[in-house]
Chain A
């Protein structure tokens, strides 16, 4: 296995270092004892031990300390070239050399290890800081190309890229430190399995056909993947290629990759929420603008209508003073037509509000029989020659509906029936509870000519008008569209069918107001 060569090479370098250090120290001791005539120069070996500790770590220092002990014994303690020791004082020297060597070597080695860990942690912290700074000062999509460069440098990767799903199962690459789009069909990669709590994350081998993949044809490289998540959803991955000689990422490198994945996840989530909020704000402002526009149009159209009706009223009043005046008839026509225009404007505005999404139904429990009776009462002047009958049981539960919308719905249904029936023709208004008791159905049917079956489905379309028997189409073609808009805005439904009376039957279903209210 490739990875085995790494410790072996480091071991042989350490062994060579020990040999060289001991040789140098031996030379120094020999020089000191024979030329300078120092009686005991064994302390010079401690220099070699410290050097080994600093350069190669604790274990090299320990081996160096034992080697020093043996070498000094063999080469300089009488009798030389043997491991025998005659003088007990020399034993003490040798033991001191061994113990001091081991202790000094251990201390120097620990210091070296700590410095190495501190440097790694400093790199990790520095890397995380740069990642979070990039995300904080840029839109996350702009930050990602710079982040992959930071991660590559700080985690000793050959290449780092980020793939994001963007709501689809497949990731697409949004940032890459390398170039080229060579993608193999499947890839073995190391996935960082993260655990909740304190347990350290671990790299596990995976064989999954997940994209996007960069070429891993270079056998000296292994692929690593950290999933980017936010709010429990997977948003993509940080992928990297690492020289196999370096083994798995160290603990600090792993933490940097995991931390970067977390921060990217949070930043993407933040961007998404911000975009959502901006969209809502734009929609809100657009709604407000439309409503303001409709209010202005409404006001500008109605003020002249009010004047026309007032003027017609003045004419009627004058006519009343002098009975038989030729003014009374025309004044009544003007007033009726102005009223018709007002209804048309009202319906157009209701329809526009429905389409702008600015109908805001104020749903209340309302008794259908009361509401219908009130509307019929208001429409008496136009209902005068129609045979209207209502059958709405008082025992029906109240329906949940906007009171103003309900009045407009009933008015439009009755006006539609009036417009399409001749004088004396029956119009029937019924109310009934649905089979599941969850809704109340209001039916307005008439004995008029009705509409062809193929037109039934289109009656609620805007500006749809049925031409029957070659006669001109009557009505504006928006009354029933308004009925549908208002009914549906409050959770109701509409349908059209043939009536048993021969004409048309329009059904509107309203949800039953379930809240039981005590009375008394």
Chain B
């Protein structure tokens, strides 16, 4: 897990349930991460200021602060990836957290394997060159060239309409992170459409078909993953 020279990535786990926090810290440490834990939002923010971790794991149901307050505070001066640990029934809170700048989520009870995959994807995106949305965006075999409005999959051109191109651009710019329906709609159609998730469904469905049409292996199908009721994620290769 850890490479010889580079220091192990530092994670901050903000979770109030003691047993869960301890078990998770063990699991993360076993996978080679340096882990700091905090049981309240206040302690979490203090730890974040002190350690400036590479990624924050945040439980939304904290005893003192609303989890979204923690996200706002962190986002004020850093783009540190934030992964939400969410209770399943608090779907609205989860979407709000993502819209406020959290990057992805897992629902309790999540598997450690799933959690590690998300952490790896987020760390990879934040370590690599930031996708500016202006030049060339590459996610595995998929390449999107913004100036020429060209999309290729394994070098084969994919014909997209201008809207489809915009949708794919937004998803690929945030590769490895979850883009909520609302965020996608606002980015492509503007705020007036943020309550019309079916626009997103229709366009993403078209894009997936066009990708599948030029991909004889069928592997392209899994590039865009739907999180039912929440949004879409472009899967970085190796996840």
Contact indicator A370/B205 (Cβ below 8 Å): yes
Closest chain A residue, CB of each to CB of B19: A307
Contacts of B24 in A (CB 8 A): 310, 313-314
Q: What A residues does B110 contact at CB under 8 A?
A: 306, 309
Number of interface residues of A (CB under 8 A): 49
If the complex has contacts A370-B205, A407-B228, are A309 and B112 also in contact, measured as CB distance less than 8 A?
A: yes
Asked if B216 is at the interface (CB within 8 A of a chain A CB), the reply is no
A445 at interface by CB-CB < 8 Å: no
Contact A306 B162 (CB under 8 A): no
Determine the chain A residues whose CB is within 8 A of the CB of B113 once the complex forms.
313
* Cα distance, A367 to B205, chains bound together (Å): 7
B109–A302 CB distance below 8 A:
yes
A404 contact from B17, B162, B225, B228, Cβ within 8 A? B228
Which of the 9-residue segments B4-12, B25-33, B139-147 touches chain A? Answer: B25-33
Say how far B110's CB is from chain A's closest CB, in angstroms: 7
Q: A317-B31, A519-B163 are in contact. Are A374 and B111 (CB under 8 A)?
A: no
A367 and B27 within 8 A (CB)? no
Question: A312 in the interface, Cβ–Cβ < 8 Å?
Answer: yes
Which of the residues A306, A309, A371, A398 comes within 8 Å of B202, measured between beta carbons? A398
- The interface bits of chain B over 51-94 (1 if a CB of A lies within 8 angstroms of the residue's CB, else 0) are 00000000001000000000000000000000001011100000
Which of B171-207 touch A at CB < 8 Å? 197-199, 201-206
- Is the Cβ of A308 less than 8 Å from the Cβ of B221? no
Query: Is A303's beta carbon under 8 Å from chain B?
Result: yes
Whether, in the assembled complex, A403 has its beta carbon less than 8 Å from a beta carbon of chain B, the answer is yes
- Name the one of A317, A338, A370, A515 contacting B109, with C-beta atoms under 8 angstroms: A338
Q: Does B123 contact A (CB under 8 A)?
A: no
Query: Is A473 part of the binding interface, using a Cβ–Cβ cutoff of 8 Å?
Result: no
Interface residues on B, range: 35 or more
A377 with B222: CB separation less than 8 A:
yes
B124 at the interface (CB under 8 A from A): no
Contacts A306-B108, A309-B112 known; A403 to B161 CB distance under 8 Å?
no
Contact of B30 among A307, A314, A394 (CB under 8 A): A314
Residue A299 interfacial (CB < 8 Å):
yes
Residues of B within 8 A of A407 (CB): 228
Interface hits, A376-435 → B, CB 8 Å: 377, 394, 398, 402-404, 406-407
Is A318 part of the contact surface with B, judged by Cβ < 8 Å? Answer: yes
Which residues of the other chain, B, contact A304 by a CB distance below 8 angstroms? 19
Q: Is the CB of A374 within 8 A of B209?
A: no
Contact of B112 among A303, A317, A373 (CB under 8 A): A317
Residue contact B23 to A310, C-beta cutoff 8 Å: yes
Task: Please determine whether B108 and A302 come into contact, CB atoms closer than 8 angstroms.
Answer: yes
Over the window 104-138 of chain B, the binary record of Cβ atoms lying under 8 Å from chain A Cβ atoms (1 yes, 0 no) is 00001111110100000000000000000000000
Contact B27 A314 (CB under 8 A): yes
Q: Is the CB of B27 within 8 A of A364?
A: no
Partner of A320, one of B30, B161, B204: B30
Q: B126 → chain A, closest Cβ, in Å?
A: 23
Residue contacts A-B, CB under 8 angstroms, 29 given: A295-B89, A298-B88, A302-B88, A308-B109, A309-B110, A310-B27, A312-B112, A313-B111, A313-B113, A314-B26, A314-B30, A316-B27, A316-B30, A317-B30, A317-B112, A346-B88, A367-B201, A367-B205, A370-B201, A374-B225, A402-B229, A403-B226, A404-B228, A404-B229, A406-B228, A513-B198, A517-B199, A520-B161, A520-B164
Residue ranges of B at the interface with A (Cβ–Cβ < 8 Å) = 17, 19-20, 23-24, 26-27, 29-31, 61, 85, 87-89, 108-113, 115, 161-164, 197-199, 201-206, 208-209, 221-222, 225-226, 228-229
A positions within 8 Å CB-CB of B: 294-295, 298-299, 302-314, 316-318, 320-321, 335, 338-339, 342, 346, 362, 364-367, 370-371, 373-374, 377, 394, 398, 402-404, 406-407, 513, 515, 517, 519-520
Q: A310-B112, A338-B109 are in contact. List 18 more A-B contacts (CB 8 A).
A: A294-B89, A298-B89, A299-B61, A303-B87, A307-B20, A309-B112, A312-B112, A313-B23, A314-B27, A316-B30, A370-B208, A371-B226, A374-B225, A374-B228, A377-B222, A403-B201, A517-B199, A520-B161
